Structures are given as structure tokens and as C-alpha cells.
A and B are shown apart, each in its own frame.
Chain A
Amino acid sequence: MTNDEIKDLVLDIIEGIDDEADFASLDPDQPLREQLDLDSMDFLDIVMELRKRHQLQIPEQDYPNLATLNSCVTYLAPLLKDV
């Protein structure tokens, strides 16, 4: 997957969690949590959805890597390079 595809994947998953999420003014370097009002249950949903769609096993200690859109890309890129 390209970086852009990974971004789309993450945003698509978030849209599934909250179909009213507003991505227009999203800063990719700022935490998703505050900008999109996500809570820890929402992050768990992202992890489960990544496992469901791409068989990714993300251990709990790695959850902080999902904090911003760009950190998601950095973290997921090597894991999704063959997809």
C-alpha cells in the first residue's frame, strides 16, 4: 500500500466508527483523539478493524503509534507494504 492508500484506509475505518466525522480540517500531525473526539474504545475499534481487513496483529504497547494520521502511516507502512 502507498502512504496515501494507508491514509484512506485509516480514514475509512474512522468513518465507519463515526459517519459524521469531519476530515476537512484534520491536521495529520495532531492527535486524532482530540480532533475527531475519539475515545479509547474507538481506538480499539481501529485495531480490530485492521485485524479484520488485513490480518494485522497490533499489540497493546503499540497503540500509541496510532495517535496521529501521520504516525499511523509511519507505523503501518512496513506492515502493509505487500498488500
Chain B
Amino acid sequence: MPASLKEIKESYDVIIIGSGLGGLTTANRLAYCGHKVLLLEHHHRLGGLATWFKRRGHIFDVSLHGFPFGMIKTCRKYWNKEIMESIVQLPNIVFKNPQFSLTTTFNKVDFTKLLESDFGIKTETIERFFTSVSSMNFFDDQSMTTKELFEEFFPGRSDVHRLLMEPITYANGSTMDDPAITYGIVFSNFMNKGVFTFSGGTDKLIGMMEKELIKNGVTICTNAKVDKIVIEDGKVCGVVVADKKITSTAVVSNSGITNTIFNLTDKKHFSDEFFTKAKEVRVNNSSCQVYMGIKKGETIEDVGDLLFTSTAPEFDSEELLDLHTRSKTFSIYYPKTRPGLERYTIVASMNSRYSDWDNLSADEYEKQKQELISRSIKDLEMYLPGVSAKIDWAEAATPKTFNTYTLHTRGTSFGTKFEGLDVSRSIHKEIGGLFHVGSVGIIMSGWLGAINYGVIVSNDVDCYLRA
């Protein structure tokens, strides 16, 4: 059970602000290293974007659409074996658009086969492409864009570009204008060994993580929104939460990097140079989702686990962001998702701009939400004819919803563009003992990115605490 604000002590080695996967992992690692850790979360439950909600006996997962193979090793090393053992593959990934329709296991072998058979690309080119992207790393040239990378290997092949880019755009909001290295790093993680999910659902995962944190001695406090990070003589000395000051030697913010700098910290503590750099950080796009529950007792046919669908003639990241986009993914959750709960749910996900939803009147906002639901159900009918009659719950989330629950600037779903990583990594050089963890820089986002970044930041914090 999380502690209430009244019960918590006045002093800790480290306070973590926010319980997204990055914050949870940092808390767990630092407790493992022997530090006294306090985790403060504004929402009433842990997990941040790794979350779920219940309606009429349905359980809807918000960000459990798929993660890379690397999660298995990461969960074993930084969480526990039981968590690792619940990770299972999603075998059928479907693409359907005017340029091609195919089903894949989403691994290197299958991609190579498909690029040869369906797209007529030479084996040698495919091999060279895979070798080139898998050898990319953080220290490579950052000026090449993903578009240039694609043109080098598959010139003029908008169909191939679509196959390679569309899943990544949904996974982290990046576009063909982002640096090729961010594409290379994410693609190599994702498309090498298939797409995986957590059997039992997000609720089970977060429950297991909470148990592990408590076992390791982390003090957890929910409904606790941090208002301010307290700094004295260039060093952090705690936070203010509900008018109460709690002291600590280090503070790790899992709040968005823009929130951390512009809302939680007094500007005067940053150098002008750093502050200017921080102002230039672009946050990523947000999302819309439609959650659909199938009536108890009804079933639907297996049409694949994750469907990348579009009726737009070609891939275009601007089109994906449009309020009336014709592109969306469907995640279909069969009873295997939560063994024992015989239910089917479907989540349609779209990329979206905060500004398109922010300026609507209350009536217009509701109307747009209803239209979004209708369009999603209509599109779903193409894959599951007759499904409308089986749906007994449909509800939409917009960029405003994501903003409300996570406080993220403009409801960003995937942190920031590439430049955010450097700002996140260097904040502790500005203010002693202040660290940031959480989706930044494209490569540190998603479930795997956020967890691994938590480990990297824990190392910095542990180093600071033991210095």
C-alpha cells in the first residue's frame, strides 16, 4: 500500500518525482544500491503512461501495443524473473494500406523475405541496409536524416519507406526528418526479433513492480504532486509537495524535461546558455485513442494482434497527425492478453497534435470525440465485419486527456525530439544532485527506452550519492 503524505519521513537520500517506467526503474535501482528512496506520484496510481482503466468489466491498456525483444533481458536484470517470464511475443503484425497488405512476425528474417518477395528488393541491398542501421550509434554523424538514409538504399520507393517508417512513427512520433541514427537505434531494437507484450496486462506488470519496490524498501506516495524542487547554493536539497518540504541529497525528476526545467525549478539556478538550449527543445506529438470493449460472451475472429492501417495513398507523417487522419493502428486484445478474463478489447491509436484539441469549445470537443469514435468503429468494420453490434463500450482519449493524467507539456506521448536528450543528460551539471529521467531524444522513449534510461540515470545518481 502506498504511504500517505502525512506518514512519510522528512528526509531521504533521493526523491523521485513521477512513477513512469523511468521513475519506477530509477527508484528500484537506487534502492538496490542501498539508498533511502521516496517515490512521489501525482496520479492515484503508478505507471505514468504505462497505464490501464476499467469500464463495465473491460480492462483497457493505454500503451501496451508492443515493445522490442530487449525487454526480456532488461526486465530480468532490473526487475525480476517473474516479470520477465510474463513477456510473450505478438505473432501477427498486419499492414494494410493502398500500397501493400501483408502479415509479418516483424523480425529480420521475415522482413528480408518480404522485401525480396513482395517488394522485389535485392538480397544484397537488404543485407547492407540491416548492417548499416544496426551499426549506427549515438556517436555517429547526426546530420543525416532518415529520409536520406531511405533514399540511399531504396531510392524513390515510397512503399518500402512506408513499411520501414510507419511502425516507428507510431512507436515514438519520429518522422523522416529526424536524424537517421535515432531511426537506426530504434529500428534495430524493434525490427530484429519481433514485437512483444506483457501477458496479464499493464495492471499486472505495474502491480508486480510495486511489490518489488516495496520489497526493496522504497517509500511510495501517490496523489502527491510535487510543486517545486528546492535548490540552495547551486545544489538540490529537496522538494515541496502539498506545502510540505521534504529534504534529500538528490532529486530525480521523471516529470517531462520541459516541466522539470520550466515549472518545477526556479529559472535563476540555470545558466543562460543551458536555459536557451532548453527552450529550443521540441516536444513530440501527442495521441488520440479509441477504446472499444466487446460485449461479454461475444467473440471476434483472430485478424492479427497489431494492425497498421491507412487509406492514405502514401505515408506522410503530417497526414498521420491530422485531426481527420486516415491512418491508425488497431491493437486487438484477445482473451490471451489476460488469461482468465474472457474478454476482447480493441484500441485504435492515432498520432495527434495538442493544438488541434486545445482550442475547442466544450461542445465542439465532445462532438470531435464522438466523430473520432465513429470513424474508428467504421474503419474497424473493414477488418471485423459486424463488430459494431458487439461493442458495448467505446470511449476516446485526446491529447488533453494525456496532458491531464501525466501533466506532460502539450500531452506529449513520446517525450522530446533528439535535442532533449543532451539537456536531460546535462541538467546535473547545472544543478548538483538534480537529475532527469524519462522519455527524451526519441531513443530513450517507449517502455524499453524509459526503463533502460532509468538504469543509466541511476548510475549517475549513485555516483553522486557516493561521492
Contact = CB atoms under 8 A, between A and B. Distances in A.
Contact of B467 (A47, A48, A57): A57
B463 interface: yes
A72 B463 CA distance: 20
B265 interface: no
B462 A51 contact: yes
B463 A41 contact: no
B458 to A, nearest CB: 7
A8 B458 CA distance: 26
A65 B357 CA distance: 53
B90 to A, nearest CB: 24
Which label, helix, strand, loop or mixed, suits the secondary structure of the A interface?
Answer: helix
Contact of A17 (B33, B77, B458, B466): B77
Which label, helix, strand, loop or mixed, suits the secondary structure of the B interface?
Answer: helix
Given A41-B77, A48-B33, A57-B463, 12 more contacts: A17-B77, A41-B455, A44-B455, A44-B459, A47-B459, A48-B458, A48-B459, A51-B462, A52-B33, A52-B34, A52-B462, A57-B467
Contact of B452 (A41, A48, A51, A57): A41
Contacts of A57: 463, 466-467
20 contacts: A17-B77, A41-B74, A41-B77, A41-B452, A41-B455, A41-B456, A44-B456, A44-B459, A45-B77, A48-B29, A48-B33, A48-B458, A48-B459, A48-B462, A51-B466, A52-B33, A52-B34, A57-B463, A57-B466, A57-B467
A60 to B, nearest CB: 9
A55 interface: yes
Interface residues of A, number: 10
B463 A51 contact: yes
Interface of B: 29, 33-34, 74, 77, 452, 455-456, 458-459, 462-463, 466-467
A36 to B, nearest CB: 13
Contacts of B463: 51, 57
A48 B34 CA distance: 12
Question: Which of A41, A47, A51 has the most B CB atoms < 10 Å from its CB?
Answer: A41
A34 to B, nearest CB: 14
A37 to B, nearest CB: 10
Interface string A1-35: 00000000000000001000000000000000000
B267 to A, nearest CB: 29
A47 B459 CA distance: 8
Interface of A: 17, 41, 44-45, 47-48, 51-52, 55, 57
A77 B219 CA distance: 38
Contacts of B466: 51, 55, 57
Contacts of A55: 466
A44 to B, nearest CB: 6
A57 B455 CA distance: 17
B300 to A, nearest CB: 39
Contacts of B33: 48, 51-52
Contacts of B29: 48
Nearest to B138: A40
Contacts of B462: 48, 51-52
Contacts of A41: 74, 77, 452, 455-456
B78 to A, nearest CB: 9
Contacts of B77: 17, 41, 45
A52 B32 CA distance: 9
A50 to B, nearest CB: 11
The 9 closest A-B pairs by CB, nearest first: A48-B459, A44-B459, A52-B33, A41-B452, A51-B462, A48-B462, A57-B463, A51-B466, A17-B77
B189 to A, nearest CB: 11
A67 to B, nearest CB: 16
B353 to A, nearest CB: 34
A16 B455 CA distance: 16
A9 B225 CA distance: 43
Nearest to B74: A41
A57 B459 CA distance: 11
A12 B33 CA distance: 17
Contacts of A47: 459
A17 B455 CA distance: 14
Contacts of B467: 57
Contacts of A52: 33-34, 462
Contacts of A51: 33, 462-463, 466
Nearest to B33: A52
A54 B99 CA distance: 59
Contacts of B34: 52
Nearest to B81: A19
Question: Which of A45, A48, A55 has the most B CB atoms < 10 Å from its CB?
Answer: A48
A47 B456 CA distance: 11
Nearest to B137: A40
Contacts of A44: 455-456, 459
B28 to A, nearest CB: 13
Contacts of B456: 41, 44
Question: Which of B34, B74, B459, B467 has the most A CB atoms < 10 Å from its CB?
Answer: B459
